[in-house]
Amino acid sequence: MRKLLVLVIFVVLISIRVLYEVFVAANINAEKRVTVKIPTGSTYADVEKILRQNKVLKSELMFSLVSLMKHYPDKVKPGYFVFTNGMNNRQIVNMLRAGLQTPVTLVVYNIRTKEEFAGLVGRTLELDSNKLLAKLNNAGFCKTLNTDTAKILSRFIVDNYDFYWNISEGKFLDKLNAAYETFWNSERKAKAEALNLTPTEVTTLASIVEKEVIRDKELPTVAGVYLNRLRIGMPLQADPTLVFALHDFTAKRVTSYHKEFDSPYNTYKYAGLPPGEICMPRKKSIDAVLNFESHEYLYFCANPDMSGYSLFSKSYEDQMRVAAQYRKKLNALSIH
């Protein structure tokens, strides 16, 4: 009788231990947190493989037991999941089964081309970058947003966006479009109209200002220079448009080679705005155009002291004098 009692106690203790390991004990193989991406269309076998490859679990067997008990193999959901140290199997399975994923942040910044934008999206979200790029190059799609393939990036506002990793392409574009409509409120549209420019044209000019300026303090001043040139029909003569035309983004210095290249983006050869933006400008650059500094400057050149600031001129003669000093400095620094 005593042996039977001991056996019963032993079995009870073992059962309690097993239940503890299955439902209570932490099963995350990480000190702080671990993340996984479950692609759309994944099966339970795929989930197990992903968890194994990422060394997420301390015990795969215990996880499998809880998964079966909670019917998770029939309810796999895609997404980006973050598990923290201390989570047990029940919590892990509940998160996966309910699809309680953590949003990821798309940081849109310093984008020059559609290829760069699509690549950034593809690296951050589950979306196919090639399919997205094809859409941005599709005239029919661009027309639905009242733009064209050269100006499509002007429809996307530089910002940090939170998305679910497996968001659909349609919902992704809808959110970006909503951000555009929010930014271009009635006040900004009225300011653009006062400049006799459309929001797209303001964005195109802002993209040039963005690439011309090192010190943000000068954004409104440089915007004023270009607006003065547009007003009198003077070519913009913006060096960043030449760099964009050739996609020579590593160029340290604009030369006659750039200026002689025939492209609608060559603002030395062709007056007015180029066909589209040369980058995705920040909000502050767009607002700098809308709230430009009113002055009589028609020229500016990087300060020869290499401070990152510019020297502004009203006359061509003053501009040439500063430009000569700047070229001399570049030569001294062997910047070619």
Q: Does residue 301 form part of some domain? A: no
- Measured between alpha carbons, how far is 123 from 159 in angstroms, rounded to an integer? 17
Share of the chain above pLDDT 70, in %: 92
Q: Are residues 193 and 178 in the same domain?
A: no
How confident is the model over 154-166, as pLDDT tens digits? 999 999 999 999 9
Q: Between residues 12 and 198, which one has the greater pLDDT?
A: 198
Indicate if the pLDDT at residue 4 is higher than 80.
no
Residues 6+ apart with CB under 8 A from 44: 67, 72, 73, 74, 76
Residue 68 CA from chain centroid, whole number: 40
- Give me the residue label for tokens 């303001």: 202
Domain that holds residue 199: 186-295
With cut-offs at 50, 70 and 90, classify the pLDDT of residue 5: very low
Indicate if the pLDDT at residue 18 is higher than 80.
no
Q: Does residue 165 form part of some domain? A: yes
Start-to-end CA distance of the chain, whole Å, equals 96
Q: Mean per-residue pLDDT for 75-94? A: 94
With cut-offs at 50, 70 and 90, classify the pLDDT of residue 27: low
Q: Does residue 127 form part of some domain? A: yes
Q: Are residues 173 and 255 in the same domain?
A: no
Among 183, 206, 226, give the residue marking a domain's end: 183
Instruction: Please check whether residue 183 is in contact with residue 155, taking contact to mean a CB–CB distance below 8 angstroms.
Output: no
Number of domains in the chain: 3
Q: Does residue 290 form part of some domain? A: yes
Q: Does residue 332 form part of some domain? A: no
Q: Are residues 228 and 280 in the same domain?
A: yes
Lowest mean pLDDT among 21-35, 95-109, 114-128: 21-35
- Measured between alpha carbons, how far is 240 from 259 in angstroms, rounded to an integer? 11
Q: Are residues 70 and 112 in the same domain?
A: no
Share of the chain above pLDDT 90, in %: 82
Indicate if the pLDDT at residue 238 is higher than 90.
yes
Among 132, 158, 183, give the residue marking a domain's end: 183
CATH number of the domain where residue 54 is located: 3.30.1490.480
Q: Are residues 150 and 238 in the same domain?
A: no
What integer pLDDT is reported at residue 2 of this predicted model? Answer: 55
Indicate if the pLDDT at residue 6 is higher than 50.
no
Q: Are residues 135 and 229 in the same domain?
A: no
What integer pLDDT is reported at residue 26 of this predicted model? Answer: 65
Q: Are residues 241 and 229 in the same domain?
A: yes
Q: Are residues 153 and 230 in the same domain?
A: no
Q: Are residues 197 and 266 in the same domain?
A: yes
Q: Are residues 206 and 276 in the same domain?
A: yes
Lowest mean pLDDT among 44-48, 165-169, 256-260: 256-260
Among 143, 167, 183, give the residue marking a domain's end: 183
Q: Does residue 25 form part of some domain? A: yes
With cut-offs at 50, 70 and 90, classify the pLDDT of residue 72: very high
How confident is the model over 267-320, as pLDDT tens digits? 999 999 999 999 999 999 999 999 999 999 999 999 999 999 999 999 999 999
180-219: burial string, b at 16+ Cβ within 10 Å, e else: beeebeeebeebbeebebbbbbbbbbbbbbbbbbeeeebb
Beta bridge partners, 163, equal 104
What integer pLDDT is reported at residue 13 of this predicted model? Answer: 38
Q: Does residue 204 form part of some domain? A: yes
How confident is the model over 253-276, as pLDDT tens digits? 888 899 999 999 999 999 999 999
What average pLDDT does the chain have? 91
Q: Does residue 335 form part of some domain? A: no
Q: Are residues 205 and 289 in the same domain?
A: yes
Q: Are residues 147 and 238 in the same domain?
A: no
